Amino acid sequence: MLKIDMHTHIIPKNMPNWTEKFGYGDFIYLQHHREGSAKMMKGNQFFREIQANCWDAELRIEEYKVFNTQVQVVCTIPVMFSYWANPDDCLDLSMFLNDHIAQLVTDYPKNYVGLGTIPMQDTDLAIEELGRCKEIGLKGVQIGSNINNQNLSEGRFFPIFEACEELDMAVMVHPWEMMGMRYMTKYWLPWLVGMPAETTRAICSMIFSGVFEKLPNLRVNFAHAGGSFMATVGRIEHGFNCRPDLVAIDNDVNPRNYIGKFWVDCITHDCDMLEYILKKQSSKKITLGSDYPFPLGDLKIGKFIEEMPLEKETVEDIFCNSTLEWLKINKEDFL
């Protein structure tokens, strides 16, 4: 059975020092302080230690092969988004990252599929780079759950979504710049509490502002099984019904109607939760994701799904069919 892991992150081994190049800001750069390991620095501050599987294409293939995975969909690490930067500089950085992924896909067409990053803080530049991403062979883009604290419901983002639909480019929404981050520095709470809330924020913003209503062919996938959205959809619907004056001001369609119209990945770490989401979304709209190579991901790449008592067709949908449909790619290209 073909296994495509659609949620993985990659970064070029060597990148310019953008802080020096642009003369400001805390851009990310890598300090290769020993073989196979690098310090990810945010300006002069240590951000995270990463290993060679963050950049080494062949090492990654060896690692994911162990879990019978044949293809990885790759996108950048969200800390690279740099939406806070001057738009031209963010474009420069995005182009560098996108060219790197395009080269990887050219070199390993059976092992990698690419998603780009675009300067969301500037509508025109974002659309320009989106078009270029398509030209260089990427199948979509990954965007943040908020853009400098602006929600995806803001009118300035709509033309970008419109362009994604028009150009047939898929969208992956990934939580980043988590809400409340500075008030919950202990216990890794931004990752455990903030991220699921961020994804819900993105889904609700896109539903309530009518993005999905106006762009029925836009193909969006939300990370981490849609965050806490699926678990709280009853509350969200009830809010829509009891306070339409607050909730239904831009779109009067029940939020529940959009379930099954977008995709979510399967990263739940919990069989019961996956069964619940299967019931809500159907297997056609759940994609295999791992968040490789990071420790909070499902680094056994869907092994828990193989161990669940599911129909073969259901597993096949999750492992490949849903992703093939989300990205409009063909199974034959990977066999």
Q: Site residues (CB under 5 A) for Zn ion?
A: 291
Contact 114, 138 (CB under 8 A): yes
Q: Which is nearer to Zn ion, 129 or 291 (CB)?
A: 291
Which pair of structure tokens corresponds to residue 218?
């836009």
Q: How far is the CB of 263 from Zn ion (least distance, A)?
A: 15
Q: How far is the CB of 59 from Zn ion (least distance, A)?
A: 19
Residue 199 CB partners (closer than 8 Å, separation 6+): 145, 173, 175, 222, 223, 224, 226, 227, 228, 229
Q: How far is the CB of 77 from Zn ion (least distance, A)?
A: 8
Q: Which is nearer to Zn ion, 161 or 222 (CB)?
A: 222
Q: Which is nearer to Zn ion, 200 or 209 (CB)?
A: 200
Q: How far is the CB of 199 from Zn ion (least distance, A)?
A: 11
Q: Which is nearer to Zn ion, 142 or 281 (CB)?
A: 142
Q: Which is nearer to Zn ion, 193 or 253 (CB)?
A: 193
Contact 6, 292 (CB under 8 A): no
- Whole-angstrom distance, CA of residue 179 vs CA of residue 146: 9
Closest chain position to Zn ion (CB): 291
User: Which 3 state secondary structure label does DSSP give 149?
Assistant: coil
CA distances from 302 to 77, 299, 321, 324 (A): 21, 8, 15, 17
Which pair of structure tokens corresponds to residue 2?
């073909």
Q: How far is the CB of 9 from Zn ion (least distance, A)?
A: 6
Q: Which is nearer to Zn ion, 77 or 102 (CB)?
A: 77
Q: How far is the CB of 75 from Zn ion (least distance, A)?
A: 8
Which parts of the chain are beta strand (E)?
Answer: 4-9, 28-34, 37-42, 45-51, 71-75, 112-116, 140-144, 146-147, 150-151, 170-174, 220-222, 263-265, 286-287
Q: In b/e form, how buried is each residue of 320-332, taking b as 16+ CB within 10 angstroms?
A: bbbbbbbbebeee
Q: Which is nearer to Zn ion, 89 or 291 (CB)?
A: 291
Q: How far is the CB of 254 from Zn ion (least distance, A)?
A: 30
